[in-house]
Amino acid sequence: MAKNQMTEVNGVVSEALPNTQFRVTLEDGREILAHLAGKMRLYRIRVMPGDKVKVEMSPYDTDKGRITYRQG
């Protein structure tokens, strides 16, 4: 999928799950399942519940996403 088709939304990590997956509550109130992007795994950026994150989502599946940035 082309990078320009991905939508980027902000959210807050509500729960940490196994295998670097997280339950994220988005700004509009939806809860999705998100995994860490490859660069975040490579540089071992820690994401914990309560952190604000940017999530990339496909327009085809709005229940899953990829965490690309941790704001703190």
Q: Domain holding 13: CATH number?
A: 2.40.50.140
Which of the four pLDDT bands, split at 50, 70 and 90, describes residue 43?
A: very high
Burial class (CB in 10 A: 0-12, 13-18, 19+), 53: buried
pLDDT for the residue numbered 58: 94
Classify residue 58: in a domain, yes or no. no
- Our count of domains for the chain comes to 1
Classify residue 71: in a domain, yes or no. no
User: What does the pLDDT average to over 40-65?
Assistant: 95
